[in-house]
Structures are given as C-alpha cells and as structure tokens.
Structure 1
Amino acid sequence: MPYTVFGLPTHILIIHVTVVGIPLACLGVLAIAIRPAWRRRFGWWVAALAVIMVPVTYATQLAGTQLYNHNSYLQTVAAQHKALGGTLVWFVAAVAVLALALALAERRGYADHHAAMVVIAALAIGASAICLVRVVQVGDSGARAAWGGIVKTSNK
C-alpha cells in the first residue's frame, strides 16, 4: 500500500470510508436484527456492507501504521489511537459474521424457530452496539492525536 496518494497520507484518505461505513453497517445490522421484515428485504445488502468493511478497516489500520511509523513525532501522541485502532477490525469482523448469520438464518427459514433467531439477533445487536462504541473511541483518540496539540489563538 502506498504511503501517500496525491501527496496526502493514505490513512487520511481512506479513514473517511471507515468512519462512515462502519457505523452504517452497524446501524443496518441493528435494524435487520430488530425488524424481521427489513431482514427479509435488506439482510443481504447489510451483510454485504458489513463484510466489505472488514478489509476496508484492515486497510485503514495498515495505512495508519505506516503513517505512525513514518512520522516519529506522531509516536508519542498517537500511541493510544494505534492501540485502539488495531483492535477495531475484530469488532467489525464480528458484526460481519453476525450480519451474515442473520441473513442466512432468514433465508434458510430459521425465522420459524423463534429461539434461534432471538439468539442470533441478540448477539448481532450486542456486537453492533459494542462496535459502535469502539468506533467512537478510536475516532476520538485519533482526533485528539491529530488536533490535541493545536492551540486556538484569538485574532484580537
């Protein structure tokens, strides 16, 4: 993966796909877990988005590691962000697996086996909620690393 694209660090460019895509996938999984009618209609689309977000998150992590290693001044302020960001792909993978499980269970007719769907839906809701929290934690630590040292001065 190139360190820069058009003169900008790759991490800065692809982070926007991650920041939008992961919450969208998590909210989609929450929606299809709660509403069976939406699961039948949108389940495979939500599962596809969740699965796509796994390699996108991994690529963002790799680009972030390159940015971290390439700039020694970042290594003190961005250490927490790097540590949190390194775990995010596992949370996204869990959401993707459970989104696939929801869509597949619906297709295979497990909606008739109410207990099985309740268990899968509960796991999907929990994983999505935890993943949303982790995205906020990673994003907040990244914003603090990027903008924490900037002091606003008045123009008086």
Structure 2
Amino acid sequence: MPTEIGGLPAHVLLIHAIVVLAPLGALFTILSAVWPAARHKLGVISPLTCLVVLALVPVTTNAGEWLEDRLTENGPNAAIEKHADLGDTFLWFAIGLFVVSAAVWWVGRVDDRAAATRPEATRPEADGTGGPGGPGATATAVRPTARTAVPVAVRVAVAVVAIAVSLVTVWQLYRIGDTGADATWDFVQKLK
C-alpha cells in the first residue's frame, strides 16, 4: 500500500478523498432514503460512492500508521495516539454506511420492479352508458400509484436507520479529523 505520493505522506492526500466522499455518500444515502425522485436520479451512485469510501479506509489507515511511526520515532505523542485510535474505528462506520446505502438502493429497486411488473388496472370510461360492458364502453389502462412490494414500515425503518448511520458516520469523521488537526497543530508547535 502506498505510504508516500510525490514525496508527501499518502495519508495526508488520501484522507482528502474520504473527507469529500464520505459526507457525499451520506448525503446521497439520506436523499435516496427520503426522496424517491433523488433515488431515481442517483441510482447506484449512492452505494458506489460509499463503496469507494469503504475501499479507501484501509489504505488510508495503513498510510496513517506509517506516518504515525515516523512522527513518534522520538517518543509517544498523546494527540497522535488519540487520532490514530479514532481513525481505527472508521472502518466500522464506512461498512455501516455502505450497508445502509445498499439497503436503500435495494428497497427502491424492489419497489420500482414491482411497480413495473404489476398488472395494469382497467376502468370504464365515463361514456354515459352506465358502466363496464355497456354499449360504447372502453377500458383505459391506469398505472397504479401505491407501492406494494416493500411494506411501508420496512421502507420507513430503512430510511430512519440510513439517516442515523449517515449522520453518525459524518460525526465520527469530523471527530477523527478534529483530532488529526489537533495532532498536527501540536506537532507544529513542538517544532518551533
């Protein structure tokens, strides 16, 4: 796994991808969970974004451990240790974000497929003949609007869990970044 990119610590560069993509994946997941039009527009982009984050976390963590070893050669640093300990937890949050994003996408796909394959209902036209089968009666296809493939309670539960996991993931990312900034500032101050 890369430890340096262009002479710079890879961790410092890779973390920027996670800092951008994790909140973006969380936002896509929330939008897809609560807004069907957004889910239709985003499609598989939401779980794919979260999958990229999940793939980047171990690479970034490994590069961070290499950087930690370099920065603590002259003795332990509590701020760096705190950041590293929190950073080690993020894999679980990335897994959770990917799983709920995939669940939101899957529930939406099941509903969309059920709506597309459900037989269309018919109704008599208002032609003044008194109902179906009367002289001049015609039937017009009406696309049903109610979803029936996934129960409403399941859709609501998936949406609530997706929102909670997304928000907690972004909060944990903030906490990790904050301790990383503190560790960097502490290290810079010691160099003076």
Q: TM-score, with normalisation over the residues of structure 1?
A: 0.89
Matches within 5 A, 1:42-53: 42-53=42-53
Question: Displacement of 1:149 after TM fit?
Answer: 4.5
For residue 64 of structure 1, what is the amino acid of its counterpart?
A: G
- Of the structure 1 ranges 72-81 and 36-45, higher mean CA displacement relative to structure 2 is found in 72-81
Aligned mates of 2:187, 2:71 — CA distance in 1: 15
Specify whether residues 39 and 147 from structure 1 end up closer, same or farther in structure 2 by C-alpha distance, changes over 3 A only: same
Aligned mates of 1:5, 1:149 — CA distance in 2: 21
> In structure 2, what is the equivalent of residue 89 of structure 1?
91
Please say which structure displays the higher CA radius of gyration. Answer: 2
Matches within 5 A, 1:11-30: 11-30=11-30
For residue 133 of structure 1, what is the amino acid of its counterpart?
A: W
CA deviations over 1:92-144 (Å, ceiling 9, x no partner): 11011111011111111285321111111111000001001101000000000
- Of the structure 1 ranges 103-112 and 89-98, higher mean CA displacement relative to structure 2 is found in 103-112
Gaps of 5+ in 2: 115-146
Aligned mates of 1:27, 1:60 — CA distance in 2: 22
> In structure 2, what is the equivalent of residue 34 of structure 1?
34
> In structure 1, what is the equivalent of residue 169 of structure 2?
131
For residue 93 of structure 2, what is the amino acid of its counterpart?
A: F
> In structure 2, what is the equivalent of residue 154 of structure 1?
none
> In structure 1, what is the equivalent of residue 121 of structure 2?
none
Higher helix fraction: Structure 1 or Structure 2? 1
> In structure 1, what is the equivalent of residue 107 of structure 2?
105
Q: How many residues align?
A: 151
For residue 99 of structure 2, what is the amino acid of its counterpart?
A: V
Question: Displacement of 1:74 after TM fit?
Answer: 7.6
Root-mean-square deviation (CA, aligned residues, Å) is 1.7
For residue 62 of structure 1, what is the amino acid of its counterpart?
A: N
- Of the structure 1 ranges 64-73 and 75-84, higher mean CA displacement relative to structure 2 is found in 64-73
Aligned mates of 1:63, 1:137 — CA distance in 2: 19
Aligned mates of 2:15, 2:8 — CA distance in 1: 12
Aligned mates of 1:95, 1:48 — CA distance in 2: 11
- Of the structure 1 ranges 71-80 and 113-122, higher mean CA displacement relative to structure 2 is found in 71-80
Aligned mates of 2:37, 2:17 — CA distance in 1: 28
